Structure 1
């Protein structure tokens, strides 16, 4: 690692800062910054772990990992403990430090898991902004066993920049979520006060037309208009419910039960366990549950559904199933509908698991598991 002083280090920090200020996607930002950091410092290998409040680490960026660490889809990096993660979780890692040896590399050598390309040691530095901690940055090079004070000082400055950017991204995402919720509420109010009232008036007018006319053909026309207005009112109520759920304050299962009632579905529910569900998880499961129940109503050719909900301190599992007509589904092929794809995407965005089972005349089952 060839790090100069003065203007050279300021130049490196300026480059990193510009990269960090450009993006809002955490993974893309960290991958770009890591690649640039290694290039300007002459280091070869690096990786970034984000670590949650429970001490569980997640590999979000890496560059030039040796085969011993990159094999099997980087499983060695994604699982198990190591000294740097342990030190971070024990709050013993407060500044940039030399990690004398890398446990993951040691284990790989012992297990003959592949070529290590001379990488044995790395420097590690916590990513933080004030009192808020996000994870660690690790960098190393073949046959480099020690980092000088000025090298560690530069890494610490870069890590502080990364931590500040992560906090900015987190706050931006929170603001966007708040703004989205406010916009949903506004749209729901507007739909209720305008379109919903117009449809209700149309329905009443058509009903009056049926009662006032004596001509059979005109009666049928007004009756048809009334039926269309009632159907549109039902669709509008469902849309308003999706935008601004009434009853979610009483719990997710209660809200889904009410939504099923509104759709005209008979729903059997079973709840086991208890846990405080994070807001993001509750929102995602609410949207997934709505989509699944709407599919039951539209496609299953049955009016009955079952909702199973299991909560624990590790996460939540929700199953929605029906005994309707079902359809051909092969897990090896692409998911057939946009609604199902959206459910899967919402689940995986929270590092959850989505499982769909369906066969003709045997119904459909959707199982969602989201860890905390």
Structure 2
């Protein structure tokens, strides 16, 4: 391959990477482009998190032996390239690693391999940050030339730099969103909240000053409405800008429950420093669960349990209220519960809901950290 062609390939890859903002979409498009311009046939990309878990985020032309059962063989288990990555022995493009996943598929007669036996593997990173692996191969290809490996390393560096940019952009967007919520919360507190308070005082004065029974009842009704609206506004402000979150998730949820008039029995096992993203998710899930308890459970007592470990956090919110009919095999019945499940699964966590009439409700949130 000529130097000119290499530069043209790098330019095409760079243009794709610079345009994208969705990590999985970008990686899928770049992998397709890479195979097209290099003439290679098969490729896949693993993203690997800090706990060592790998995720298949992009793939192209995998043989049937590797795609069966919803790509189970690619998503589960270890292989030599991932193991070497974990041990930090894979620092540059490797000139063919025999594919253990394919060897296992052949031994188990799992399907056709389309003559794919080997693949080159390249770590994805930017500076000191590591993101995963790029693997490419072709049928009956058992060797990559040095210039091919050099090109793959250059492309892997481009991908790693782009992944870092996307992650930084996502963090900036999350920070901006939190800042905007805080601004709206301040504005609501300083304007609408104060107006409702003034309305409540005016209605109360009307009750005390009026002599006619019907007028008193009208002012009393207005006062009740204003007080109810004040309570709703206070809860909304709490949801937008949780007070006490700077002191930890437990302090914040305890304060929110107190604001709702709930008595909370707290049990804590273990201590760990949570990331801002996990803490924010636990807060949003917890406040929704506590609000549901206040509105629907017909009880003012709720149990809140946290179990922290180095690998995960478990949050359980349970009440002994009226409960409701819930079948885990059917769709979750309310938008609030669906949002809790979605927030949990967005962090690769698990959501479990248990409830029955007269037996209360229990929500378990398990999130890896």
- Partners of 1:275 and 1:74 in 2: how far apart? 35
Is the CA contact (8 Å cut-off) linking 2:13 and 2:34 kept in structure 1?
Answer: yes
Is the CA contact (8 Å cut-off) linking 2:81 and 2:97 kept in structure 1?
Answer: no
Residue 190 in structure 1 maps to residue 171 in structure 2: no
CA offsets, 1:52-91, max 9 Å, x none?
2232222211122222222222222222221111222222
Tell me the equivalent position of 2:58: 61
C-alpha deviation, 1:41, in angstroms: 1.7
C-alpha deviation, 1:189, in angstroms: 0.9
Is the CA contact (8 Å cut-off) linking 2:97 and 2:121 kept in structure 1?
Answer: no
- Partners of 1:42 and 1:156 in 2: how far apart? 17
Residue 282 in structure 1 maps to residue 279 in structure 2: yes
Residue 125 in structure 1 maps to residue 130 in structure 2: no
Tell me the equivalent position of 1:342: 339
Tell me the equivalent position of 1:27: 24
Which residue among 251, 258, 262 is the counterpart of 1:261? 258
Which residue among 297, 302, 310 is the counterpart of 1:300? 297
Tell me the equivalent position of 1:230: 227
Secondary structure class of the residue paired with 1:331: coil
- Structure 1: any 5+ residue segments left out of the alignment? none
Which residue among 311, 323, 326 is the counterpart of 2:323? 326
- RMSD over equivalenced CA pairs, Å: 1.4
CA offsets, 1:143-197, max 9 Å, x none?
1111111211221111111111101101101111111111111111111111111
Which residue among 29, 38, 41 is the counterpart of 2:38? 41
User: How many residue pairs were aligned?
Assistant: 369
Tell me the equivalent position of 1:148: 145
- Partners of 1:322 and 1:86 in 2: how far apart? 45
- Partners of 1:296 and 1:369 in 2: how far apart? 20
Secondary structure class of the residue paired with 2:321: coil
- Partners of 1:232 and 1:314 in 2: how far apart? 42
Q: After the TM superposition, which residues 101-140 of structure 1 pair with which residues of structure 2 at under 5 Å, given as runs?
A: 101-140=98-137
Secondary structure class of the residue paired with 1:367: strand
- Partners of 1:338 and 1:291 in 2: how far apart? 10
Tell me the equivalent position of 1:181: 178
C-alpha deviation, 1:112, in angstroms: 2.4
Instruction: Give the structure-1-normalised TM-score.
Output: 0.96
Tell me the equivalent position of 1:16: 13
Is the CA contact (8 Å cut-off) linking 1:84 and 1:99 kept in structure 2?
Answer: no
- Partners of 2:196 and 2:205 in 1: how far apart? 14
Q: Which runs of 4+ in 1 moved over 4 A?
A: none
C-alpha deviation, 1:251, in angstroms: 2.0
Residue 212 in structure 1 maps to residue 209 in structure 2: yes
